[in-house]
Structures are given as C-alpha cells and as structure tokens.
Amino acid sequence: MAELTRVETEPVAHGSHTGGLRGVAADFASDQRAFKNVSWGKAMMWIFLLSDTFIFGCFLLAYMTARMSTPIPWPNPSEVFALEIGGQQVPLILIAIMTFILISSSGTMAMAVNFGYRRERGKTAALMLLTAVLGASFVGMQAFEWTKLITEGVRPWENPWGAAQFGSSFFMITGFHGTHVTFGVIFLLITARKVWRGDFDTGRRGFFTSRKGNYEVVEIMGLYWHFVDLVWVFIFAFFYLW
C-alpha cells in the first residue's frame, strides 16, 4: 500500500503519457530552450508581424471574394495603371518601378543589418538612410498613383471602368500598406540617427536603445521592413497582375 501511494504521488514528466496535439503542446511548453535566448524586442516584433499577416490576409481574401462575386466586369489593371509616355500608354510601368524600388530597399536593409552586427556604424547608418530614401520614394510614387486615379474619377464607392468594389479594394489595401511603409521610413530615420550618433556603442539611454554594444534594434527594423516588402509582392501579384 505504501509503495502504491509513493508511485501515485511521483511527478510525471510533461507530455510523457499524453498523446495527440495535447501531448505535443505539453512537450513544447516544458522546453526551457525554445525562447530562452530570444530577446523580448525580437519576440514582440514576430508576434506583431504574425498579427499583421492575418490582417493583410483578410484584406486580400476580401478583395478576391469581391472580385470573383461581382457580376460587373472588373477593370483591367493594364489599362487602369497605365502611364502615357511619348504619346503611348505604357501598362504598369509605375507599378514596376515601385516594386523594383521596394525590393531594392530590402537588399540595402539586409546589408545594414550585416554591418550593424559588425559594429560599423557609419555604413549601417548610411544604408539605413538609403533604405529610408527608397521607402519614401515608394510612398511618393504611391501618392502620385492615388492622385492620378482620383483625378480620373476613382472613388471608394465607384469608378469609371467597371465594378464599384475596385475603388474601395484599391484604397484600402494600398493605403494600409503605404501606411506601414511610411511608419517604417520614420523609424528607419530615428534608428539611423541613433546609430550615427553612437548610441548603441555607448549604451546611451533613450527610445529604441538597447544595451551597450548591441545593434539588435537594427535587425528588428530589418524584420519589419522585409515583411513590408514581402506583403507588397502579394499585393502586386493579386491586385496588379491578376
């Protein structure tokens, strides 16, 4: 009887006698190494990006549902987003340039992160500034695109080329993405200034300053910027090429 009591009261390892998904969750929850070496800043950025993925995914799903369910013909993107150059309509030329600029900015941001971990603050700050300039150029071109379409009669409730849902889908999706790029440019400028000033080398107190000698904030900014670029690839594919 005493032996039976001892066996019943012995602790059981998490997940050792639990099957299915509950067992997997229990085993993962008992792991002391999964998030042990991940900083709170990087973990929070990943959580934010995950939640943002759901939002953009819902927007794109709503757009595809509206486009496939409307009985009115959907506008042809090659005609709507064409620019007149030399007396001829060139389809999607502005969108192609915007896409090239944003993808190029992802490359400059990756190099900034690389030099940041080498603690070469001059090159890091310069590349972050270049990334911000490219991002600001993208936003400027998007503002030009909005102005052009608004001048031609596109509204959230109507447009002169067909289905009325086109305007609301366009302004909602591109506007939400453009807002992300704008905030990214602002934070890039703030972080670049702190890198150039040497805040991460001296451990100077303030916003977005980590412990001395740690350039992890640059990497966190890189995660955000790469996410913004990746989302644009999906917007470009589903909205402009479809």
Mean pLDDT in consecutive groups of 10 residues from the start of the chain, 242 residues: 43 51 64 62 90 95 92 90 87 94 96 92 94 97 95 89 90 96 96 87 64 78 95 93 86
Distances (CA, A) of 150 to 51, 92, 130, 162, 229: 31, 17, 30, 15, 25
Distances (CA, A) of 226 to 54, 105, 106, 122, 240: 16, 9, 6, 22, 20
229-233 long-range CB contacts below 8 Å, 24 or more apart? Answer: 229/102, 229/103, 229/105, 229/106, 231/56, 231/177, 231/180, 232/99, 232/102, 232/177, 233/99, 233/103
Contact 95, 107 (CB under 8 A): no
The verdict on pTM exceeding 0.85 is: no
Q: Report d(CA 61, CA 48) in Å as an integer.
A: 20
Domains annotated for the chain, with CATH where assigned, are: 1-37 (no CATH), 39-240 (1.20.120.80)
Q: What is the pLDDT of residue 216?
A: 86
Contact 208, 190 (CB under 8 A): yes
Q: What is the pLDDT of residue 41?
A: 81
Q: What is the pLDDT of residue 159?
A: 86
pLDDT tens digits along 197-227: 888 777 666 666 655 557 788 999 999 999 9
68 three-class SS: helix
